[in-house]
Structure 1
Amino acid sequence: MSRTPRFATRVLSVGAALSLGIGLTACSAEQGSSVEPAASETTSTSAAQSASPSPTVPSPEEKAITKAETAVRKYFRVMEVSLRDPKNFNVEDFKKVAITTALSDLRNGVNSHAYQGVHQVGGIKVESIKDPEVSLTNRPNEVPPEIPNVIFTVCYDLSDVDVVTEDGTSIVTDARPDRVALQVGVANYEYPKGPWLVDFTDGPELTSC
């Protein structure tokens, strides 16, 4: 499905809302045994190995989802670093994780925290990144342009997060829910070799998940 990256009319800044383990079992001959495997056994083993299915190659859409999910997690990490020490954070680092409206949101959030003399304590927990919608249509010169993008529903937990003044006074109200859901769009403006960057965060203000 072809999607055009959206510049949300209701943009909610996230800051404002505030391995595979493989067990292998080996069988070996008893120590001191000099018995060689029979030719038929060797042939059977080789045939079984050659018949093993080849690893599944991920589709371009699957690769995009994986990279976009990684981009979302990086976005949250950089955002948290910025809000914990807003006065000393280098806003140029936002360009590593965000673009367009999402980039503006991050800048506005850290500038607001610095101006008010507040900072974040505690950490956001990203609970789920799901329901991906993928479009790899790449027509940047059309009007409107179509840029490869992945849109997720992201649920994150704010229950351990507080925003405090320099003397430690909290400014968070009871109206803030502990868990928040957003749509997060991730785009690649230089596809296929360019970076996947968060393009927007969108959702009804402080929607709980």
Structure 2
Amino acid sequence: MTRHTQHLTSIAAIAVAALALSACNSTGDPGSNTTSDAATTSAPATTDAPTPTTTTPTPTQSPEDEAIEAAEKMIPLYFEVGDRSIQDPNKFDREELKKVAISSAVDDMQNRVSAFQRQELKASGKTEVESMTNPRVDLKLDLKKSPPDVPSVQLDVCIDVSKLNVVDKDGKSMIPADRKPRQLWRVGVANYEYPKADAWRIAYTDTQGGKTC
């Protein structure tokens, strides 16, 4: 629409402008602005596009890492079952030893239970696993060899035995006065059914001559 401030060059042009203005006022709503609807129309609202989400893939463990993790889960269970086996050796079910140990380790546990029974000893308290470090992993499997290759993980295990006591039938403690409260053992964990995940067992232990940690 022609603005009133423009300099018109002819009367005819002024008449046309006046006619157009009156027509605009007569067709609009009462009290409506005479400014063109096109000038007052708001631009359509824009919708922001959703921000795409990114998913970080979970890293896959290596076979060696999986073996170490399984070994570290089994070692505390081994000491827990070992403690229970001598707390009441006459009632303990020796089949439980096979759930945590195999090979020479299960033989050692069986012999200890038998010794406690013969000497009428009982234990109280428990062994605490303080740390498991320096893992050495060998996943070769060949059971036909002599000696066989068995997947294994070896760890240095620091245990705290300060809360573990052993008494005779009269309640007298059998723990030597010079017993070290913290001991560093070397523990081997093997899997004769590898890669079966739940077949890891303690295969041997080495007290390393009383090393401390």
Hey, what does 2:25 align to over in structure 1?
none
Hey, what does 1:73 align to over in structure 2?
76
TM-score by length of 2: 0.75
Amino acid at match of 2:168: T
> What is the CA distance between 1:143 and its match in structure 2?
2.5
The higher-RCO structure (CA 8 Å, 6+ apart) is 1
Hey, what does 1:33 align to over in structure 2?
none
**CA distance in 2: counterparts of 1:172 and 1:182, whole angstroms:** 19
In the TM superposition, 1:32-47 aligns within 5 A as 38-40=47-49, 42=50, 44=51, 46=52
Contact 2:183–2:207 (8 Å) recurs in 1 = no
Q: How many residues align?
A: 168
Hey, what does 1:95 align to over in structure 2?
98
Hey, what does 1:205 align to over in structure 2?
209
Give the aligned CA root-mean-square deviation in angstroms.
1.7
**Which structure is larger by alpha-carbon Rg, 1 or 2?**
2
> What is the CA distance between 1:144 and its match in structure 2?
2.5
**CA distance in 2: counterparts of 1:74 and 1:97, whole angstroms:** 7
| Aligned: 1:173 with 2:176 | yes
| Aligned: 1:151 with 2:160 | no
- Give the unaligned 5+ runs of structure 2: 1-45
Amino acid at match of 2:204: F
> What is the CA distance between 1:105 and its match in structure 2?
0.7
> What is the CA distance between 1:68 and its match in structure 2?
1.0
In the TM superposition, 1:51-130 aligns within 5 A as 52-130=55-133
Q: Deviations over 1:119-138 (max 9, x none)?
A: 11111111011111011111
**CA distance in 1: counterparts of 2:145 and 2:47, whole angstroms:** 67
> What is the CA distance between 1:167 and its match in structure 2?
2.6
**CA distance in 2: counterparts of 1:159 and 1:57, whole angstroms:** 39
Aligned-partner SS, 1:205: helix
> What is the CA distance between 1:38 and its match in structure 2?
4.1
Amino acid at match of 1:79: G
Q: Deviations over 1:169-209 (max 9, x none)?
A: 10111121111111100000011116100000014222211
More helix by share: 2
Hey, what does 1:195 align to over in structure 2?
199
> What is the CA distance between 1:168 and its match in structure 2?
1.6
Q: Show structure 1 runs of 4+ deviating over 6 A.
A: none
**CA distance in 2: counterparts of 1:201 and 1:189, whole angstroms:** 17
- Give the unaligned 5+ runs of structure 1: 1-36
Aligned-partner SS, 2:146: coil
Q: Deviations over 1:18-45 (max 9, x none)?
A: xxxxxxxxxxxxxxxxxxx9423x1x2x
| Aligned: 1:185 with 2:188 | yes
Aligned-partner SS, 1:152: strand
**CA distance in 2: counterparts of 1:78 and 1:116, whole angstroms:** 20
TM-score by length of 1: 0.76
